[in-house]
Amino acid sequence: MENKQVEEIIEKYDNDPSALIQILLEIQSRNRWIPNEAFHIISEKLGVPVSRIQHVATFYKAFSLVPKGRHEIHICMGTACHVRGAPRILEAVQNATGINPGETDMDLKFSLETVNCLGCCALGPVVEIDGEVHGNVTPSEAANILEQYE
């Protein structure tokens, strides 16, 4: 993301410090992560210390300070999914992608995260990719589902 794009986002919010979270969300939405350079631009434009911006960005799990893949995989590890085989689904996805939870593959194709609950307990085990829910997933289906996103 170029500095000019970050500045345009900040200007969209009238350089208002109270819009910090919205600014960070929009930067992440466009870029899939928040680069360190953006903190310095935001600090300068909003008059907010870089340390405060970093605190906000690290406090909320929604923000990423490292590049994310084009496709974000979330595997539910909540109780209902767990007892229905979520650990085996996670293992199958790890084998297919070569990454562990919290990581992004070298091609920036996939990022993998585990979540406590996706709210689809009756469909467990559940895998969500880019907001699309896949329910009642079996380990053998997990690799096939990922192929749809190649």
Q: Tens of pLDDT along 87-111?
A: 999 999 999 999 999 999 999 999 9
In a domain, 66, yes or no: no
| 80 and 41 belong to one structural domain | no
Prediction pTM value:
0.78
Question: What number is the average pLDDT over the span 108-135?
Answer: 95
pLDDT at 80 over 90: yes
Domain count, the chain: 2
Residues shown for the chain:
150
Q: Are residues 128 and 87 in the same domain?
A: yes
Residue written as tokens 């953006």?
38
pLDDT at 62: 82
128 vs 134: CA distance, rounded Å: 6
How far apart are alpha carbons 38 and 35 in whole angstroms? Answer: 6
For residues 69-77, average pLDDT = 95
Range of the domain at 133: 71-147
Q: Is residue 28 in a domain?
A: yes
Helix axes of 36-46 and 3-12: crossing angle, nearest 10 degrees = 40
Task: Select from 63, 87, 64, 79 the least CA-distant residue to 118.
Answer: 79
Classify residue 65: in a domain, yes or no: no
Domain match, 46 and 75 both:
no
Q: Given its phi and psi angles, is residue 102 left (phi above 0), alpha (psi -120 to 50 degrees) or beta?
A: left
pLDDT of residue 33: 93
- Work out the percent of the chain whose per-residue pLDDT is above 70: 100
| Sequence-separated (6 or more) residues with CB below 8 Å from residue 113 | 72, 73, 74, 75, 101, 102
Instruction: Give a yes or no: residue 134 inside a domain.
Output: yes
Please report whether residue 100 resides in a domain: yes
Distances (CA, A) of 123 to 8, 109, 135, 139, 149: 42, 26, 5, 15, 21
Angle CA 44–47–49, to nearest 5: 85
